[in-house]
Each structure stands twice: as structure tokens, then as C-alpha cells.
A and B are shown apart, each in its own frame.
Chain A
Amino acid sequence: MEIVHVYTKLRSEFGRQCLFSDRPAELLVDVSPDPNLALQFIQKTRRDQAMQASRDMSEHQVNTERFESESRGINHLEGGWPKDINPQEMEQTIRFRKKVEKDEVYINSVLQLGSIMEHCIRQNNAVDIYREYFEDEDEVEENQEPPSAKTINVFSDPNELRRTITDLSWHPDGARKLAAAYSCLEFQKSCRGLSLDSYIWDIENPNKPELTLKPASPLVCLDYNPKDPHTLVGGSYNGQIVYWDTRRGGTPVEVSSVEQSHRDLVYKILWLQSKTGTDAFSASTDGQVLWWDVRRLSEPTDQLVLDPCREGNLDRAFGAVSLEFEPTMPTKFMVGTEQGLVVSCNRKAKTPAEKMVCTYEGHHGPVYALQRNPFFPKNFLTVGDWTARIWSEDIKESSIMWTRYQKSYLSNACWSPVRPPVFFTVKMDGTLDIWDILFKQNDPTLSLKVCDDPLYSLCLQDNGRLLACGSQGGGATLLEVCSGLSTLQKNDKSLLAAMFERETKREKILEARQREIRLKERSRSEQSREEEGGPEVGDDSPHQLITWTEKDFFSLVEAEQRRRSEREGRGQQETAVCEEREEKNETTSAK
């Protein structure tokens, strides 16, 4: 309900309404500035003044008075005795002590304290609470991270016409430098403008090689001297051996004479272990292995022709594609041939015929890489065709372990110098495979595509972490392997030794079985030959074979049938015997 109050007021009482109207502006006052007055003033410089409407405050600092404290120690000799007792006098002290001992408070305290103390003493005797458990256990860092390798640098051929990197060698001291041999291995493809140089790279500087080696013909292989890091020896395309001293620059110090060198390109050259440290040996597809003393490269010191008939006939010799030498076994070395055989040789044999000790057959194509396991020298790794194979020296029939047939050709391989079960292979499709045979045997543990060109060479540094691989396009890629694959694990050696032993044993058993079967065949064929009395040596004619097999088959079937019928007969007899026995039991029980 609205409360309304109405009040009235007459219009005449409060005036008329306002009526507004417009009218133009009217100037009222105009005061112009007086210049004379301006002289009395000075213009102030403009400045900014900040203002704030708040309370004024000021800042003060206060420091309290220093409280000096000092730590002091007292050496307690003898004191605390009450005033009347002289500590020096034995009598008085003893009397005092006796008095205290008679005190009630003393007795009660001691009894109480004694029980607490006993409890703690017993605790101590029961358990040593400060004992170190699990001491001396090294923290086993389980490397849970997946294996990896990453590219650090790529050193590419500075020339326009790129050549393949056919060999790599690390500098022996600290491995800061990498020597790479460049040549074009494709048959008759070396064109006019192809550069003959090979380079030594410093791994820190991928832009420009540290030293250019200028041989007369492109280098196919090279090797740093492990004893003297300044010297290198290389094998070239035309079969000559070249010797460099890096202190003297890029021109070779000495070159072997053309007549005495290899007739074909030198595929591999290695330094030997000798007192003078100047011996090297090289292998080539012309079928020879030559030994050199680098002080006198005019002629080789020794020669071996890889003739399977051991006659030294060059025409029938196998071409050598890889060499292997282990400094711990200086008299033995191995050669991998183009024919897929690995020949194990003895340096110290008296006659050349005895130099070739034995051969290992297994590959379908040339054995491009050959290396002994640095931890287990009896086992070596070979690579050729599409597989990598691991062999044991004792088993000559076949390799003890091999990989599956890969999709592309394997061109090089080497063991890891740090971890015994790890080895690296490179393939023609540009991939690098890292195999860890203790972890996985069917597939590589890590497979990396390094580049699009086929990879030809591979070399690992002595610490096992850095590896360099060379491609057809002239690029050397430097990779770092993850720590899991380059640090020695605890059980590596023992597990790998067990694995090799197992596989070797298996092969031995298989070999023995094969031999047995062969012997049996031979004796059987001899027997059949005697029976028939014919002078046919070896295989019988097919007709006779058929009749013989038929006879054999029927005799076997008849024998089996006879055996079956016998068994049935025996079974019947047995059931008959059982029945009789049952009857007997019944009769006896009935009684």
C-alpha cells in the first residue's frame, strides 16, 4: 500500500518556469600579456616532481650489543674435593670415600643406575647397532638405458670427385687423429681427375684434414705403427708399399720398388711385432703375402704364396683380401681369401709348404674382414657374403656361431676392444650394426643407418667408445657408442667363455657324428662292393641301388612284423599266466 502525501502550492508562489535561449558569445574582458612584466620572471627548468599522498617514513638501522662467548676447556686434575680434605693425602681421601659409600642416597642411586646400565650393556652385547651391512658391495649400475650410438662428426672428402674410404686407422697414442685411405675400388672406374691423396684428420677439426698424404697411386689400406705413432705404412692401388713419417710431411719417405711389390692392389697391410718395430706384412689379391722391413722397401724380406696345393704356384693361388695378426701370438697369422676360405698360417715354419697350417671354409664370397677376439684369441670373427661368422681355431669344419643372412652384403667388422661379446659390422646399405652376442644372437643389438652410401671400412678406437666408419661417398663418420656397450660388465668374460665352449663342443660333437656317418658309409659301401664282387668303385649304378634299397626295405619291414607278432604272442602268454595266477589265488583264498 503506498503511502502518499499530496501537497499543493500555487504556481504564482514559486515563480515562473525557466525559459532558456541561445545567444552569441560576448567578450567580457581581454587581458593581453605585458612583455615588461615578463622580465621580472625567470623561466625555471622543467623537472618532474613525484608526489604521493602517504605517511612519511624513514629507515634506521640498529645493532644489538655484542654478546661475547668463549669456549674454554679445563683440564681436570684433581679437584672438587671439599675444603677440609687435602687431595694429596691418601688417608683423608680414602676416609671421605668410605663415608660416601655408607650414605643411603649413594646406595640407592648406585642400585638404580646399575640396573639401567646393565640393561644397556646387555643390549650392546646382543646386537651391534652400528654394524655395517652390505659393505664392500660396489654399486652395480644397471644400465637400463637402451643401447645407442650417436654421430659426433663427419669428415668428408674435400675433393670434388669423391672416392671411397677403403681403410681407417686410429692414431695409437690417445687417438686424436684418424688416418683414412681413399681410393676408388670399382673396376676400371678411376677417371682422370681422381685425386690420389689420402688424409689424416684431427677429430676436432672436420673441415680440413690435418695432413695430406701424397702417394704415387691411391692408397687402398694403411696402418699406424703401434710402437711409433709418427709412422704409417700404406698399400696402394698399384701394389706398392709406401712408408710415411708424419714429421716429414705428406710425401712418402720410402716406396717399395714396383718389380718387387704385389702385382695387384694391396688389400691389407699390418705392422708386426718385432724388436726393431719396423716390420710389416701385406696381402694382395695376386695371391701373395709379403713381409717388409720399412727401412729397406726395395725388396720384401719374405714371401708366401697362398697356393692350396702348397707348391708356391702363383697361378693357382688364392687372392688375399684380409689379414689378421695378433701381437700376443706373433708366429701365427691368418689370411682371408677371395674364395671364401680363411687360411691359418705359421710364420716360423721351416718349409713354405708347412707355412699354411689349415683352412677354414664357410663363406660364399670373399672374406672381407678377419679379426681375433682380443679377449679370447682362439676365437675369431670373419665377415663375407651376407653373414658374419665366429670360429674357433680347433674346429675346422664350420664356424661355431653365425648370424642370419642379412639383407645386404657385409663389408667389414671388428670386435670391441673393451667388451668381449660385442662386435660391429657395416653393410653395403649404409648401416652399422652392433652385435652383443650375450644379449641377443639373432639380431643386432643396435642397428644404425649411418649414411645412404655403402659403408666400406670400420675402425674402433682402443677405448671402445669412438668408432669411425668410411663410406663410398668419401665420408668418414665418427660415432660415439653409449657407455653400456663400451664398459666391461662383470660377467662378460666368463659368460662369453662359457658360450664359446658350448658352441665349440656342439660343433665337435657334430663333427664327430659326421665322421662316424662317413665311416659307416664307407664301410657299408666296401661291404656291398665285396658282396657284389664287381670292380665298380664308389657309387653303384642306379638299378643296383634300387634293388638293394628294396631288399633292405623289405627285410626291415619283415623284421618289424616278426617282432610285433612275437610281442603279441608274449602278451597272450602273459595274460594266460595272469589268469592262472588269479585262479590259484582264488582257490587258495577259498581254502
Chain B
Amino acid sequence: MAEVEETLKRIQGQKGVQGIIIVNAEGIPIKTTMDNTSTVQYAGLLHQLVLKARSTVRDIDPQNDLTFMRVRSKKNEIMIAPDKDYFLIVIQNPSD
């Protein structure tokens, strides 16, 4: 439990990190550092995106699997690390 907190704190402390969300397989945000509305929005939209991406990768090559996703936009970068049951979403403002 404390390790989880420590990990999250470490990530939060990195330069440019705006927010962290942990979402479970159903799309429910378990842990978040942002406000509720944005959390729900991010969780819902990104959940679908990751599932689609994963199915795409596996369709092309069934042996393959999605390990990481980065969505770079003009204002920031959304990074999603998917797992079997949970996703870790981090929004970062690239430093430049």
C-alpha cells in the first residue's frame, strides 16, 4: 500500500506531470489526482481508445500485445500504460 503511494508520488514529482489516473478494467477511476469531471472524461474516453488500440494490435498479429500508448497533442501528452486489469494514465506537459 505504501509502495503504491510512493510510486505515485514519485511520478507526480516528475517535471511537467499534470495528473495521474488509475482506471480499472471496467473504466472506473480508482485513484486520481485531478478533479472529478476531468477524471471521468479521461477515464471514459481513454478506456475505449486503449481497448480499440489493443484489439488493432492483436488483430494484425495475434502474438502481439499493446504495451504502451502515447497520445501527443499540441498542449500536452497523454501516456497510458495498460495492464490486464488496470490502466495507468498520466498527463504530462512536455518540457520545452
Contacts and interface: CB of A to CB of B under 8 A. Distances in A.
Interface of A: 74-82, 96-97, 100-102, 105-107, 109-118, 120-122, 124-125, 128, 130-131
A121 B17 contact: yes
B50 interface: no
A113 B88 contact: yes
B35 interface: no
Q: Which of A106, A110, A111: most chain B CB closer than 10 A?
A: A110
A118 B31 CA distance: 17
Given A114-B7, A128-B96, A109 B44 contact: no
Nearest to A116: B81
B79 interface: yes
A379 B87 CA distance: 75
Interface string B64-96: 000110101000010101011111101010111
| Size class of the B contact interface (CB-based, 8 Å) | 35 or more
Interface string B32-69: 00000000110111011000000000000000000110
A116 B48 CA distance: 21
A110 B92 contact: no
B43 A76 contact: yes
Given A80-B28, A117-B79, A118-B10, A131 B84 contact: no
A216 B67 CA distance: 94
Interface in B5-42: 7-8, 10-11, 14-17, 22, 24, 26-28, 30-31, 40-41
Interface of B: 1, 3-4, 7-8, 10-11, 14-17, 22, 24, 26-28, 30-31, 40-41, 43-45, 47-48, 67-68, 70, 72, 77, 79, 81, 83-88, 90, 92, 94-96
A76 B3 contact: no
B40 A106 contact: no
A122 B30 CA distance: 24
A117 B11 contact: yes
Given A81-B26, A106-B4, A110-B22, 15 more contacts: A76-B45, A76-B48, A82-B26, A110-B7, A113-B87, A114-B8, A117-B79, A117-B81, A121-B90, A121-B92, A125-B14, A128-B94, A128-B95, A128-B96, A130-B94
Given A76-B27, A124-B16, A102 B86 contact: no
Contact of B14 (A81, A112, A122): A122
B88 A100 contact: no
Contact of B3 (A77, A107, A109, A113): A107
Contact of A100 (B15, B30, B81, B92): B30
28 contacts: A76-B48, A77-B40, A77-B44, A79-B27, A80-B24, A81-B26, A81-B28, A97-B30, A101-B30, A102-B1, A106-B85, A106-B86, A110-B22, A110-B88, A112-B83, A113-B86, A113-B87, A114-B8, A114-B11, A115-B7, A118-B10, A120-B68, A121-B11, A125-B14, A125-B16, A125-B95, A128-B96, A130-B72
B76 to A, nearest CB: 10
A97 B31 contact: yes
A109 B86 contact: yes
Contacts of A79: 27, 44
A92 B22 CA distance: 18
B44 to A, nearest CB: 2
Contacts of B24: 80, 100
Closest 7 CB pairs of A and B: A76-B44, A80-B26, A114-B7, A113-B88, A80-B27, A113-B81, A109-B83
Contact of A117 (B30, B90, B94): B90
B16 A110 contact: no
B67 to A, nearest CB: 8
Given A76-B43, A101-B4, A113 B26 contact: no
A222 B52 CA distance: 78
Contacts of A96: 28
A516 B16 CA distance: 74
Contacts of A78: 40
A510 B47 CA distance: 84
A128 B72 CA distance: 11
Contacts of A101: 1, 4, 30-31
A115 B81 CA distance: 10
A76 B90 contact: no
A82 B30 CA distance: 13
Contact of B79 (A75, A109, A120): A120
Contacts of A77: 40, 44
Contacts of B94: 124-125, 128, 130
A75 B44 contact: yes
Contact of A76 (B1, B16, B47, B86): B47
A81 B7 CA distance: 26
